[in-house]
Amino acid sequence: MVIDLKRCVGCAGCQLSCKAEHGTPPGVFYARVQREEKGEYPFVKTVFLPLLCNHCKEAPCVDVCPTGATFKAADGIVEIDADLCVGCRTCMMACPYNNRYFNNTLDYYFGDQGPTPYEQARSGEHAKNVVMKCDFCKDRVRSGKLPACVANCAAEARHFGDLDDPDSNVSRLIRERRGQPLHPEEGTGPSVYYLPPR
């Protein structure tokens, strides 16, 4: 995935579409947008940084998982098998990007009023006391669709494709716009790149 920081307007469309696609519990956002103010008066601006699992080529979360619950699929997507996860959270400690969540509560958005019909329909999909994270919308991708965050980005700031194909749109963007992953010094080989705002 390539995210163009010049085009991102911080609308959180990616965050909302991801939430709708996966029906995650309150407080769990596989995709989220970090906002920060930069500069000094009168030259202050808000900058946005969309964040999600980086699906690293050398994923430390895969290496430390004691049960094999976190694994790398043949297409490069880092997944979690909830049936194998024992909730030890070792993978959460190993992830340098803080992009994993531990699902140990049965909270609803409206508290004591109980689940909304949407929550009722989706809550059964998530196992309790296990780690969860972005899976690049693997079912959508494997059926030829774009991840929800990419398909619903109003500013068209997100691009998805094959990083191993030098002729793909994402490879071209990285090359032409000098795209960089977050924290390359960690040596994890992230599959999410950011295009600079200038």
- Give residue-wise pLDDT tens across range 131-190: 999 999 999 999 999 999 999 999 999 999 999 999 999 999 999 999 999 999 999 999
Q: What is the DSSP letter of 64?
A: H
Residue 35 Ramachandran class (φ > 0 left, ψ -120 to 50 alpha, else beta): beta
Reported as half-sphere exposure (CB side, CA atoms, 13 A), residue 139 has a value of 2
pTM: 0.91
Asked whether the predicted pLDDT for residue 124 surpasses 70, the reply is no
CA distance 125 to 100: 17
Q: Which domain holds residue 161?
A: 2-195
Structural domain count of the chain: 1
Name the CA radius of gyration of the chain, rounded: 17
Q: What amino acid is encoded at 178 in this protein?
A: R
The CATH number that applies at residue 89 is: 3.30.70.20
Bridge-based pairing of strands 70-72 and 78-80 is antiparallel
